[in-house]
Amino acid sequence: MREIQFREALREAMSEEMRRDEKIFLMGEEVAEYNGAYKVSQGMLDEFGADRVIDTPIAELGFAGIGVGAAMNGLRPIIEFMTFNFSLVAIDQVINSAAKMMSMSGGQFPMPIVFRGPTGNAGMLSSQHSQNFENWYANTPGLKVVVPSNPADAKGLLKSSIRDNDPVIFMESELMYGDKGEVPDGEYLIPIGQAHIVKEGSDVTLLSFGKMMKIVNEAAEELAKKGINAEVIDLRSVRPIDYKTIIDSVKKTNRLVIIEEAWPLASISTDIAFNVQKDAFDYLDAPVKRVNSMDLPLPYAPTLIDAILPNVKRTLEAVDAVMYR
């Protein structure tokens, strides 16, 4: 396998799909002349030209709407938001048009569109640029929501998202674009809705997705030093959620800790905790624990950011609680 950056894996996925299907195009702020705000689309303008790699004004509602109309007319747009914080400007097109068009048209208008870009905290960018909306979009029937945690998954899941005939929200992390990881050579797809058991274990299940998997993997290593064998699951997508893999794991370990960057109220972890107590109550040896961001807008100061976001220390404390240590 090759070792490439997260941004390179995304670029390979888009470029391979655009070579395969001329109906696919990329549109967003700075995706063309500037090679992408995070250099994800570097070189794509040179290869595919200005008709298929399209710079837009700072007008998310407008170019999201153009993407929806293009998808209704047989094209397959990839719409890049510079950050999903800015997708709130376009949320009417995403929620009221893209998500509902197939249903409202009685199946006459498929909606093969991908909305992609970074989500969550990206360092000292303060409250308006550091939010997680995975649970917002996952609450919308008609959308699929994908949140990869590593370059290999990013490529395989993005290719599947581009080929999907439903609208897909594809959420990345600004802090991961430079991360390197092994990516297979050749063609491969990863199905949407299939969680990945990163590490098998027997004592407690640690569950997360996206960049929080870094916290989870580090916590699992620390637990191993204490003789605790954690099972680690990467959800990969939060709509649909692979509940079978989660329930099967809880039946084996009897304990569950969910780590999620979003605020605690009505989060993805809330729904998972409900479904686990509904479907695996008799297998639980302790209440499900959640490690979320504090219920506050994220501040600018790095010390306060560290205090508010999920971290290894809080994860280990949650594991101690479910194991009554």
Name the residues annotated as catalytic: 60, 129
Alpha-carbon distance 276 to 247, whole Å? 6
The residues, ordered by sequence, that sit 6+ positions from 49 with a Cβ below 8 Å of its Cβ are none
What residues are paired with 171 via a beta bridge? 117
What residues are paired with 291 via a beta bridge? 259
Alpha-carbon distance 290 to 319, whole Å? 10
Name the phi and psi angles at 97, rounded to 5: -115, -65
Residue type, 216: V
Alpha-carbon distance 195 to 200, whole Å? 13
- Both tokens of residue 142? 């008609």
